[in-house]
Structure 1
Amino acid sequence: MKKHFLLATLAAGLLAFGAQGALAQNIAIVNGKAVPKARVEALAQQVAKSGRPVTPEMEGQLREEVIAREVFMQEAEKRGLSASDDYKVQMELARQTILIRELFADFQKKNPVTDADLKGEYDKFVAANGGKEYKARHILVENEAEAKTIIASLKKGGKFEDIAKKQSKDPGSGAKGGDLDWANPSSYVPEFSDALGKLAKGQLTDTPVKSQFGFHVIRVDDIRTAQLPAFEEVKPQIAQQMQQQKLAAFQEELRKKAKIE
């Protein structure tokens, strides 16, 4: 009798140890099915990837989320939803999305944008946008005769801002008295840019400037050395842009190499 009691006690202890071991690996048992801790860890990694810190308070929420998903999954399985055509189509699309995302992530990991690449791109930006910036105004009209009349009126003391508001065909600057704000000459069409570079501060064009948009009357209000952001300020934006360019080139290369019939 005593031997039987000892065996029963030992068996109970082993069962309890087994249950504790299962709980150590699982966060719960839902309707007899174990829910592994690995699911919580995977979900936490996804949250961390999105940029949100996984706090101790959130760990409890993640656990409840994983358990709730298991409950809902079991019910969906019970109803046979995993056998539906719609489910299979959505699963295939999800599989494709995840695999393609992994492909792109793998490419970017193996083909990083280096600091030398970033500095080189910044130097190109400086070369294209450095030098002088002009604070100019213009009045855009459809024909040369009208432009010449405006120039004559301005030379007689006419107010540039008022004429621009009344006669300029440029809806953006016209309402602001022709004001184009500060800009590098390279941001304008060549004819406009060339004329701008020949004017001194406070000077008005003597003759109309013809471009694809019509005829311009231009005045330079001020000139300064270009105000460009420091490399470190724009480094993140340059990195993002270059990564996107590299990825786009990789995608295009794959499409070109693919045999599509």
Structure 2
Amino acid sequence: MKNQQNLRTTFKHGIAVTALLSMLVAPAFGAQESAPAAPAAGVTLPTGVAARVNGVSIAQADVDAAVRQSGQPDTPQVRTTMKNQLIARELFRQAAQKAHYDTHADVKASLEQAKAMLMMQAYLRDAIKPAPVTDADVKAKYDAIVASLGQNEYKSSAIVVKDAATAKTVLDQLKKGGDFAQLAKQYSQGPSAAQGGALNWVSFKTPIVEGQTQGWPQPVAEALVKLPQGAVSSAPIQLGDQFWILRVDQMRPTQIPTFDQSKAQLRKELEQVAMAKATAQVVTDLVKSAHIEQ
């Protein structure tokens, strides 16, 4: 944990240094900020070298990359600024090395943490081999989703509370004309509370079948499809220790995007599933061959 904190601190310092370079380099380099800097008289730099700092070369490719990463127009002035920032960074590095900061305990710990992270990333890149997602896989996923949709789709809102007494309080206020969205923000424990309880469009094939509710709890899905547009559930729907109050904001015939409109997103989702599955397999294999004490 301490090494992780050291590493995060190092990254924060790196960001701070980058910001400081933008503010400090211009005054330090003076007129070079407004015009491309020229090498010292009589000095010819090798091809591909933009500058030298105490004999250490700064590659032109690094300047090119810095310009691209800056997001600014590629102008001589911007190139000069980026090159001068790289020069300043090299001066900082040399000064730190001369003062033996590379031997400081916190620097060593952060370097070890960064090294471990890079090794893990390289290992996982080679070890995790997700199954390829084929065009047939994507089409099958699309067909399965379409087959699970009903005739209508619903845009609804929900207030989810933890006890029957609170649910009754909310329903009483709604019957008196209380604003659903405001009551959701005040009382709801649901994930969409900050948005006034608003949920995404959803469609269910009816009658509701277990396992075909688009991830919704079955009792909630069953209650939703029975409500007319604009209606609020007359009683809370209990789900374990939760009490749901639903409102149907809009209802319309189910709008199904075409396969061409959907295939890129579906492929991405399937690839994420394949990656998660392959990662889990690597972890399982490592655990099997490891001696772990807890």
Measured against the shorter chain, the TM-score band is: 0.5 to 0.7
* Cα distance change, pair 25–240 in 1 and its aligned pair in 2 (3 A): same
In 1, the alpha carbon distance for the partners of 2:86 and 2:199 equals 57
Match of 2:112? Answer: 92
Matches within 5 A, 1:61-210: 61-103=81-123, 113-134=133-154, 163=175, 165=177, 172=184, 183-185=202-204, 186=213, 188-194=216-222, 197=225
Change (3 A) 1:26 1:78: same
Structure 2-normalised TM-score?
0.51
Q: Give the aligned residue type for 2:278.
A: F
Give the residue type in structure 1 aligned to 2:57: V
Q: Do the aligned partners of 1:136 and 1:220 also contact (CA within 8 Å) in 2?
A: yes
Change (3 A) 1:55 1:105: farther
Say yes or no: does 1:30 pair with 2:53: yes
**When the two structures are superposed, what TM-score results if normalisation uses the length of structure 1?**
0.56
Cα offset, 1:74, TM superposition: 0.9
| Alpha carbons 1:133, 1:224 under 8 Å: kept | yes
- The reply on whether 1:252 has 2:280 as its aligned counterpart is yes
1:242 alignment counterpart: 270
3-state SS of paired residue (2:252): strand
Offset from partner CA, 1:226-245 (integer Å, 9 cap, x none) = 12444455555444433433
1:55 correspondence with 2:69 = no
- DSSP 3-state at the match of 2:290: coil
What is the CA distance between 1:220 and its match in structure 2? 7.6
Q: CA RMSD in A?
A: 5.1
User: Could you list the runs of 5+ residues in structure 2 that have no partner in the other structure?
Assistant: 1-41, 189-196, 205-212
Distance 2:133 2:252 in 1: 34
Shift of 1:77: 1.0
- State the one-letter code of the partner of 1:227: Q
Distance 1:200 1:67, change over 3 A: closer
Shift of 1:255: 1.8
Whether the 8 Å CA contact 1:44–1:54 is kept in 2: the answer is: no
Alignment-mate amino acid for residue 145 of structure 2: F
CA drift of 1:44 comes to 4.5
Task: Assess, with a 3 A threshold, how the Cα gap between structure 1 residues 84 and 132 changes in structure 2: closer, same or farther.
Answer: same
8 A contact 1:137–1:180 mirrored in 2: yes
User: How far off is 1:47 after superposition?
Assistant: 7.5
- Letter of the 1:245 partner, please give it: V
CA, structure 1 residues 230+43, in 2 after alignment: closer, same or farther (shift >3 Å)?
farther
The residue type equivalent to 1:84 in the other structure is: H
**Structure 1 runs not aligned, ≥5 long:** 1-17, 151-160
Deviation at 1:256, TM superposition (A): 1.5
Find the aligned partners of 2:219 and 2:106 in 1 and give their Cα distance. 59
- Structure ranking higher in helix proportion: 1
Q: Return the offset for 1:45.
A: 4.9
Partners of 2:227 and 2:125 in 1: how far apart? 51
